[in-house]
């Protein structure tokens, strides 16, 4: 039976850390119910504690987005419980170690393709019907990384670029029909991923994840 709620429903894939966690916290604190998906239960439980401390609500989903059956079940569960999604914010990403293009380890390339490209391509048609069922025009949010396309970033940049190509195609196809597909470049933030790429960088000069989350939430 579909659950009746006055709250908008947001699915955040990649919600356990960084911008995904910050956006989940911001939305839940603003009256949304957040379905927070990540692979690390401990990090999701810490997120849930922060959300509850601010009076918000969340459903935790400890899942790997590359597991097709698990994602099918999640989408079916969302449909059965709420009947729709108002927002899908896709924050899940794999960023391998920096490497010259002629030295990229096959395991790193395979993981980039699986998470950044294949999972995105699999999830779009799975989640699109949930967004289409929203009472008002729903939004799918993708975040681009302007720093992804430089030297030694081949596997990350190529897979991130492919992900953005999928998102831009979907945005053009649904401009009139919905959902709204929003693609935003992210400001440099003091995340663990960025620290690997920019060791020694002055982190206090970067945009806090909470600040960037608030900016994105305002666009939504």
For the chain, the domain total comes to 1
Per-residue confidence (pLDDT) for residue 155, from 0 to 100: 95
Chain segment 59-116, per-residue pLDDT in tens: 999 999 999 999 999 999 999 999 999 999 999 999 999 999 999 999 999 999 999 9
Q: Is the peptide bond before 179 cis (omega within 30 degrees of 0)?
A: yes
Chain segment 137-188, per-residue pLDDT in tens: 999 999 999 888 999 999 999 999 999 999 999 999 999 999 999 999 999 9
Nearest to 140 by CA among 172, 113, 188: 172
For the question of whether the overall pTM of this predicted structure is more than 0.85, the answer is yes
Q: Is residue 2 part of a domain?
A: no
Q: Are 123 and 78 in contact (CB under 8 A)?
A: no
Which CATH number fits the domain that encloses residue 124? Answer: 3.40.50.720
- Res. 31 pLDDT band, cuts 50 70 90: very high
Range of the domain at 138: 9-219
Q: Is residue 177 part of a domain?
A: yes
* E runs forming strands in 109-179: 139-144
Residue 1, pLDDT > 60, answer: no
DSSP annotation of 153 reads B
User: For residues 2 and 126, which has the higher predicted lDDT (pLDDT)?
Assistant: 126
Residue 191, pLDDT > 60, answer: yes
């Amino acid at each position: 039976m579909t659950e009746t709620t006055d709250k908008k429903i947001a699915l955040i894939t990649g919600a356990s850390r960084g911008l995904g966690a910050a956006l989940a916290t911001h939305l839940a604190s603003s009256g949304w119910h957040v379905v927070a998906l990540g692979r690390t239960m401990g990090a999701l439980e810490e997120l849930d504690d922060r959300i509850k401390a601010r009076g918000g609500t969340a459903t935790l989903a400890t899942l790997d987005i590359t597991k097709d059956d698990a994602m099918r079940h999640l989408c079916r569960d969302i449909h059965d419980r709420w009947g729709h999604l108002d927002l899908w914010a896709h924050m899940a990403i794999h960023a391998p170690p920096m490497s010259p293009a002629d030295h990229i380890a096959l395991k790193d390339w395979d993981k980039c393709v699986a998470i950044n490209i294949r999972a995105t391509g699999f999830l779009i048609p799975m989640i699109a019907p949930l967004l289409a069922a929203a009472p008002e025009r729903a939004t799918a949010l993708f975040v681009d990384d302007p720093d992804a396309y430089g030297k030694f970033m081949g596997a990350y940049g190529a897979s991130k670029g492919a992900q953005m190509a999928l998102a831009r195609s979907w945005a053009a196809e649904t401009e009139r029909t919905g959902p709204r597909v929003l693609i935003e470049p992210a400001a440099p933030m003091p995340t663990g991923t960025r620290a690997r790429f920019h060791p020694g960088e002055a982190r206090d000069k970067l945009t806090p994840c909470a600040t960037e989350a608030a900016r994105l939430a305002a666009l939504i």
